[in-house]
Structure 1
Amino acid sequence: MDKRYSKRRRVYYGVAVAAAVCLLVAGTASCGGMGRDSRKAAVKPKITVTAYDRANVPSSEGSVTNNKITRWINEAGPVNVRFIPVTRNQSEQKLNALFAAGEAPDLILEYAPQIKNTFIDQKLLRPIDDMIEQYSTTYKEILKRHPILRKKGTGKDGRLYQFGRINETIPMRGLFIRTDWLEKLHLDIPRTTEELYLAAKAFTELDPDANGKRDTYGIALSGNSGAILNEMFGVTYPDYVNRNGDLVHGWDNIEAVTAFKKRIYDEGLADREFWNDKNGYRAKQDFLNGKIGIYLDQFNVPFAFYTDFYLPLKKNVPDAQIDVIPYPVTPVGQFNPIFVNPIQMTAVVNAQTQNPEAVMRYVDFASSEEFMKTMYFGFEGIHSQTQPGGCPKVTDMDKLRKEFNFGAGDFGMLTSPTLSGGCYYSKEKLDDKEPLQRYVKQMFDRNSDYVNFDLEVAGPTHAEQLPQPPQEIQAILDQTTRHASVDGDIWMKAILTPDYSTLEARREAEAMWEKADGRHVDEWYRSFYANNRDDLIMTEDIYQIFREQRAFQKKSPMDAGQTK
């Protein structure tokens, strides 16, 4: 075994299997929380916290800042929180505006490292070492057991800036296909992107729903589907790929996926207005109404996929049959789906916060098992019931979906499910006794079984694990991403414009990159990858964590679910 890998494995993997023992016992001193009655009796301090707004809150449930989840947080928690909405796909713009106006929240929940790192460089964020030392119990214990969280949250100045969590690491996305349409048209499961194209063509032109109309699309290109096609061809932000042990700019990969999309678009095999379906809502509705044959989306939360995709599809089109399939071989190679980031930094503190103790008390609460259990399973006795083995079980799926699905994952960005045994692994919310739920669990397991450990994922590791570049490097990336990156307007022009080829787009994108001194960026990433990769959690490390977490889950449910 490579000694460098062995060293990394020892450092990083205090993370998964050893985490079978529960750290966090809700409502006791060891959890860093007071009993619920004493919390209610105390005068609670006030703080502000961001909340992602995905425009998906049912009207009956209020708003993203005022709903059953936020009210529970304020009733059960040690502080009163005013949530500040941040549009999910415009968080950078919103946070910049809030800081500029002097109105940034005390605690900022944010996934994107480039956003947080820029704020650190601008000295807009507060180091949190002293807060943890003086005021924390729960998060301090998590750091003690998993020092990799301290390492990943430390800035270039050696001070700790970010709170984080330990995730279940699994393939994050899935490629879904209508297998009943394949059977009807006598087609096999696509193994290459050429076969995927041929399936999309047949699904569009050969009336697979037998209604006598040409009203079906072969494949979706908007929203998550477009981004996952990029990933299928091995490219993700910031557009670097591992080639023969070196990190290189993925121009070949970007050109190849753009050529695939252009071919689909030119032949009318996808919605001709896909470019205007920014969040993929229209494509999702077409898929759920049985009008799209190949669809790509998130598949790391099987309960959400069941409630938001599979169940509505079966209600709308009872005879529809789908399956998840491996990513096909592309002209530039074959890749695994990217994985959920196993060690993820998710929160930072405004440098101007007036009450760091209150912020720390909230972080402790949001890191506790009590908080996690509620985000995962809703309210005891209403949405779920604890079973004799100690694990909760969902008892009202529809109510949980309606009242929690829209935001529990985002409000739970500080929870670490693998720290509390097997109860909180993602498929545990689905019931084997219910046929449709059982099938989603089977698809979910198949998606993990498809992982080929000899293949890379898009990029050399999860994008959030890449190093923080210097300001001048990040500035070049920020300047060029909207135009020259895989989803930039240059490449979109190649898809939409008949007389503008992908080769011309590549020349234009490379010229812009060159003019912006992009070669400096290429050299910085290449040098870091060559000389400092031991400091990163690489793809092989993520694969190892994935293997060990899967092995842990295969223990008996009683063993996996014991958290005390």
Structure 2
Amino acid sequence: MRISKVVWKPVLAISLSLMMLVLAACSSNGASENPAASPEAGGSSTPTSSASASASEGPKKEISVSAFDRGQVATEEGNYEDNRWTKWINENSPVKVKWIPVDRGQAQQKLSTLIASGSAPDLIWEYDRNYIAQLANQGAIQPIDEYIEKYSTTFKKYLEENPDLKSAMTINGKIYAVTSKRAIDSIAGQGIWIRQDWLDKLQLKAPTTIEELIEVAKKFKEEDPDGNGQADTVPIVFNGNAVGVMRALFFTNENQWYLEEGQMKYGRTLDRYTDSLAFQKSLFDQGLIDKEYITDSNFEHARQLWTTGKAGMYFANWRMDNENTDLKKNVPDAKLAPLEPVESKYGKNGLYQELPANILVAFNSEMKEDEIESAFKFIDWMLEDGWLPLKHGEENVHYKLVNGEIPQRLDSDKFRTEVAYAGEYAIMSQWNVKSDWMTVMAAQDPLSQEIAESKAIALDVALKNEYRRDIAFSPDLPEVSQLIATFAPIATQIEVKVVTGGKALTPEAGMEQIRKEWKRLGGENVEKLAQEWYEKNKEFLK
């Protein structure tokens, strides 16, 4: 089976049709460990698959794997530890998996606590390569070069066909994690949405500069764009990507390193960062952003404002299926448009874009060799067969194939409830997509098609402009990660004072404090180490 170029192979389709027969048998409430005994089984029996056959040779080995808890599992589905998909995985994969969910907003803190207590899962994954490097430097995870060669088949071949992934997996000259390639819909990260109907009503054009964005925001605040005769609209709301959106407009990111005239500098200490703080403060002082965003830690208030039609712009990400669908249901006349990043005095930067490697799956240093062997069986299975149902559901229940390759969603609400959360378990994937697939993939009802059309445009907009990234990876040095871990909360506290404190602390004075703290904590020495690291790894960082 070829696995590198084309995702939807006939062999894979046959394999999936066999595997998917078991899905309907899964209990949504964890009431039965035997899928065939579930009321959802519809009289079907569990199919024989390679994984099922291997189970007959003896009890399956068990491994544990981390998962992000994003709060998306509906009550009737169960929870992140126990639901139709965890049962499906254990029925079909060559091993039994115990999932250890960690809250997405506190994932690294939670994982670090589990590691310190000796109760971390066998496989630990994160998007953040710096965190994986930190774990490697702490000895919390182990190198796996020899085990890939010894125990893997599918992944080993996949890596040979995608050698560009190896640099992301390599720390201090050794491989510490496995990964798979991102599809373009995953490379695109951030997005800006604007109410086109509000622009039309107020006879405004979409903003193209920082200054124009502020003027449009003022109009959205002052001129009653929702037409209810009340001053109750909020020009701009956020989700977790918002700060990144604002920083990107000024060609900086608080967590990236940049080459400034050939010298390694941390993004949070740059002059451009001062300008991004000034912009954020200006929006806050003028009441152009939701002032509850400081305490709206899960962004529910922002989401409510958007979905009830009270917000004009959403600094978020390009795929806002649920939020935009809910907005259209509440305000049928709303028209949505993705907005290109506006130009600052530094020019036009792209919205944040991820590197080609997807999540990095690391191996707990406490794992024994037989456990590592079992983990590679699971990884190979997931990369070859397991990922597809976890992303798209059951064929002819949640989707059908169009043109033999494009999964078309049959019912968006059913998918949202029964499948959307399952992507957390697809720790390896060969999914790839094109923007013009969006309308084909979506459910064919008018609302789903409208959302899909806007999403296809949004994906192209998100990838249209190059995002500034001077080096592929940040320095994976323990001194760097330790300093940043200490520095980040201090800097955040200063930045909150700058943005929300009125005249008490100007952006310039706040940046002076930030730089003072950076220097106090050893920033100058870390910059020196980062420069040495860069000079040593130049070729590796392109």
Asked if TM exceeds 0.5, the reply is yes
* Aligned AA (1:379): E
Secondary structure (helix, strand or coil) at the match of 1:482 reads helix
Question: In the alignment, which residue of structure 2 is the partner of 1:514?
Answer: 519
Is residue 24 of structure 2 the alignment partner of residue 19 of structure 1? no
* Aligned AA (1:361): K
Question: In the alignment, which residue of structure 2 is the partner of 1:3?
Answer: none
Partners of 1:426 and 1:528 lie apart in 2 by 42
Q: 1:143 aligns with which of 139, 149, 159?
A: 159
Partners of 2:131 and 2:10 lie apart in 1 by 30
Is residue 281 of structure 2 the alignment partner of residue 227 of structure 1? no
Partners of 2:104 and 2:436 lie apart in 1 by 25
* Aligned AA (2:498): A
Question: In the alignment, which residue of structure 2 is the partner of 1:184?
Answer: 201
TM-score scaled to structure 1, two decimals? Answer: 0.82
Does the Cα contact within 8 Å between 1:223 and 1:281 map onto a contact in 2? Answer: no
Partners of 2:287 and 2:403 lie apart in 1 by 55
Does the Cα contact within 8 Å between 2:242 and 2:316 map onto a contact in 1? Answer: yes
Residues 521, 82 of structure 1: alpha-carbon distance in 2 compared, 3 angstrom cutoff: same
Question: In the alignment, which residue of structure 2 is the partner of 1:341?
Answer: 355
Partners of 1:137 and 1:55 lie apart in 2 by 35
* Aligned AA (1:480): F
Is residue 233 of structure 2 the alignment partner of residue 216 of structure 1? yes
* Aligned AA (2:428): L
Unaligned stretches of 5+ residues in structure 2: 16-47
Residues 384, 84 of structure 1: alpha-carbon distance in 2 compared, 3 angstrom cutoff: same
Secondary structure (helix, strand or coil) at the match of 1:417 reads coil
Which runs of 4 or more aligned residues in structure 1 lie more than 6 Å from their structure 2 counterparts after TM superposition?
A: 21-24, 423-426
Residues 388, 275 of structure 1: alpha-carbon distance in 2 compared, 3 angstrom cutoff: closer
Does the Cα contact within 8 Å between 1:232 and 1:458 map onto a contact in 2? Answer: no
Partners of 2:401 and 2:435 lie apart in 1 by 12
Q: 2:276 aligns with which of 236, 257, 267?
A: 257
Does the Cα contact within 8 Å between 2:412 and 2:448 map onto a contact in 1? Answer: no
Moved more, 340-349 or 321-330: 340-349
* Aligned AA (1:293): G
Partners of 1:458 and 1:287 lie apart in 2 by 29
Deviation, structure 1 residue 466: 0.8
Question: In the alignment, which residue of structure 2 is the partner of 1:483?
Answer: 490
Does the Cα contact within 8 Å between 2:191 and 2:338 map onto a contact in 1? Answer: yes
Partners of 2:96 and 2:228 lie apart in 1 by 56
Question: In the alignment, which residue of structure 1 is the partner of 2:53?
Answer: 38
Residues 425, 164 of structure 1: alpha-carbon distance in 2 compared, 3 angstrom cutoff: farther
Partners of 2:290 and 2:244 lie apart in 1 by 16
Deviation, structure 1 residue 242: 5.0
Does the Cα contact within 8 Å between 2:406 and 2:437 map onto a contact in 1? Answer: no
Question: In the alignment, which residue of structure 2 is the partner of 1:105?
Answer: 121
Q: How many residue pairs align between the two structures?
A: 499
Partners of 1:382 and 1:452 lie apart in 2 by 32
Deviation, structure 1 residue 327: 0.2
Does the Cα contact within 8 Å between 1:178 and 1:323 map onto a contact in 2? Answer: yes
Question: In the alignment, which residue of structure 2 is the partner of 1:541?
Answer: none
Secondary structure (helix, strand or coil) at the match of 2:489 reads helix
Does the Cα contact within 8 Å between 1:346 and 1:414 map onto a contact in 2? Answer: no
Does the Cα contact within 8 Å between 1:192 and 1:329 map onto a contact in 2? Answer: yes
* Aligned AA (1:201): K
Does the Cα contact within 8 Å between 1:378 and 1:384 map onto a contact in 2? Answer: yes
| 1:304-383 equivalences in 2 (<5 Å) | 305-306=320-321, 308-354=322-368, 355-368=371-384, 370-383=385-398
Does the Cα contact within 8 Å between 2:410 and 2:444 map onto a contact in 1? Answer: no
Is residue 196 of structure 2 the alignment partner of residue 196 of structure 1? no
Does the Cα contact within 8 Å between 1:171 and 1:447 map onto a contact in 2? Answer: no
Question: In the alignment, which residue of structure 2 is the partner of 1:471?
Answer: 478
Q: 1:404 aligns with which of 414, 419, 422?
A: 419
Partners of 2:229 and 2:431 lie apart in 1 by 49
Question: In the alignment, which residue of structure 2 is the partner of 1:270?
Answer: 289
Secondary structure (helix, strand or coil) at the match of 1:144 reads helix
Partners of 2:224 and 2:305 lie apart in 1 by 15
- For each residue in 1:80-137, what CA deviation from the matched residue of structure 2 results, as whole angstroms up to 9, or x when unmatched? 1111111112122211211121111111122111221111112221222233223222
- For each residue in 1:479-512, what CA deviation from the matched residue of structure 2 results, as whole angstroms up to 9, or x when unmatched? 211222xxx1111111111122111101111111
TM-score scaled to structure 2, two decimals? Answer: 0.85
Deviation, structure 1 residue 524: 3.9
Deviation, structure 1 residue 218: 0.6
- For each residue in 1:35-78, what CA deviation from the matched residue of structure 2 results, as whole angstroms up to 9, or x when unmatched? 24414534211111111112222212111111122111111111
Partners of 2:360 and 2:333 lie apart in 1 by 41
* Aligned AA (2:314): Y
Task: Give % identity.
Answer: 29
Q: 2:178 aligns with which of 147, 163, 176?
A: 163
Does the Cα contact within 8 Å between 1:262 and 1:496 map onto a contact in 2? Answer: yes
Residues 107, 376 of structure 1: alpha-carbon distance in 2 compared, 3 angstrom cutoff: same
Question: In the alignment, which residue of structure 2 is the partner of 1:554?
Answer: none
Partners of 1:432 and 1:62 lie apart in 2 by 25
Does the Cα contact within 8 Å between 2:359 and 2:427 map onto a contact in 1? Answer: no
Cα RMSD (Å) of the superposition? 2.8
* Aligned AA (2:144): I
Question: In the alignment, which residue of structure 1 is the partner of 2:101?
Answer: 85
Does the Cα contact within 8 Å between 2:190 and 2:241 map onto a contact in 1? Answer: no
Partners of 2:434 and 2:213 lie apart in 1 by 37
* Aligned AA (1:494): V
Deviation, structure 1 residue 146: 1.7
Does the Cα contact within 8 Å between 2:439 and 2:449 map onto a contact in 1? Answer: no
Partners of 1:317 and 1:221 lie apart in 2 by 19
* Aligned AA (2:489): R
Secondary structure (helix, strand or coil) at the match of 2:480 reads helix
Secondary structure (helix, strand or coil) at the match of 1:220 reads strand
Deviation, structure 1 residue 530: 6.0
Partners of 1:134 and 1:226 lie apart in 2 by 44
Does the Cα contact within 8 Å between 1:117 and 1:468 map onto a contact in 2? Answer: no
Residues 512, 25 of structure 1: alpha-carbon distance in 2 compared, 3 angstrom cutoff: farther
Secondary structure (helix, strand or coil) at the match of 1:399 reads helix
Question: In the alignment, which residue of structure 2 is the partner of 1:540?
Answer: none
Deviation, structure 1 residue 264: 1.5
Deviation, structure 1 residue 21: 7.0
Partners of 1:391 and 1:247 lie apart in 2 by 44
Deviation, structure 1 residue 178: 0.6
Does the Cα contact within 8 Å between 1:430 and 1:437 map onto a contact in 2? Answer: no
- For each residue in 1:167-206, what CA deviation from the matched residue of structure 2 results, as whole angstroms up to 9, or x when unmatched? 1234322111111111111211101111111111111121
Question: In the alignment, which residue of structure 1 is the partner of 2:223?
Answer: 206
Does the Cα contact within 8 Å between 2:410 and 2:442 map onto a contact in 1? Answer: no
Q: 2:441 aligns with which of 430, 440, 446?
A: 430
Does the Cα contact within 8 Å between 2:412 and 2:443 map onto a contact in 1? Answer: no
Unaligned stretches of 5+ residues in structure 1: 1-15, 538-564
Does the Cα contact within 8 Å between 2:165 and 2:356 map onto a contact in 1? Answer: no
Deviation, structure 1 residue 374: 0.3
